[in-house]
């Protein structure tokens, strides 16, 4: 038996003001998208903004449903739209902002496991990393240089 250690790296920015100008503007789009989330059941609003290499920014937010599992997360709303509308484009950067409608969050809110698995599929498809920035409603912003840092030891097509 041997032990395997997996290391991962994240970078932390004190606030949105510390972000490079282009990422700051992408995050502003995620925040705008968050404000339009349809989340009447959880009251938890999430917005995502995805920059493609054709210059297009695709945004998405969570869409809930009375049949709870039928709802979809913000990140997947955005990436699946991008994947369907611009199948040739590479996904470069994804900004995410999340928090309770009446309960602001100042810590970074990472994408859920299902979204990580879904984002990973496109990173593998396009053979280049997707940079991910995530935050609450304000405060610290975390950066992951690749989805791999958020989902080590991934299930992918190599095991099929
Ligand atoms: N949600 C997202 O949109 N993204 C995530 O990564 C985590 C959760 C949404 C799903 C649901 O509408 C609400 O947040 C509460 O879980």
pLDDT, one tens digit per residue, over 26-44 is 999 999 999 999 999 999 9
For ligand 1, atom 13, name the residue with the nearest CA.
44
Residue 97: CB within 6 Å of ligand 1?
A: no
What letter does residue 111 receive in the DSSP assignment? P
Distance 46 CA to ligand 1 centre (A): 6
From first CA to last CA, the distance across the chain in angstroms is: 26
pLDDT, one tens digit per residue, over 68-125 is 999 999 999 999 999 999 999 999 999 999 999 899 999 999 999 999 999 999 999 9
Tell me the C-alpha distance between 133 and 123, whole Å: 15
pLDDT, one tens digit per residue, over 49-76 is 999 999 999 999 999 999 999 999 999 9
Indicate whether this model's pTM tops 0.95: yes
What torsion, rounded to 10 degrees, do the Cα atoms 85, 86, 88, 94 define?
A: -130
Q: 28 phi and psi, to 5 degrees?
A: -60, -35
Residue 37: CB within 6 Å of ligand 1?
A: no
């Amino acid at each position: 038996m041997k032990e395997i250690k997996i290391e991962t790296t994240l970078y932390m920015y004190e606030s949105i003001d510390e972000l490079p100008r282009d990422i700051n503007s992408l995050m502003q789009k995620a925040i705008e998208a968050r404000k339009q989330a349809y989340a009447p059941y959880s009251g938890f609003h999430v917005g995502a903004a995805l920059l493609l290499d054709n210059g297009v920014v695709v945004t998405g937010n969570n869409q809930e449903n009375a049949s709870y599992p039928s709802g979809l997360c913000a990140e997947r709303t955005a990436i699946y739209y991008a994947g369907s509308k611009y199948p040739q484009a590479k996904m470069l950067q994804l900004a995410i902002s999340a928090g309770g409608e009446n309960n602001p969050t100042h810590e970074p809110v990472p994408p859920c496991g299902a979204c990580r698995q879904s984002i990973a599929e496109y990173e593998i498809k396009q053979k280049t990393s997707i940079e991910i920035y995530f935050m609450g409603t304000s405060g610290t912003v975390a950066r992951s240089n690749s989805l791999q840092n958020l989902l080590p030891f991934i299930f992918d097509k190599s095991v099929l």
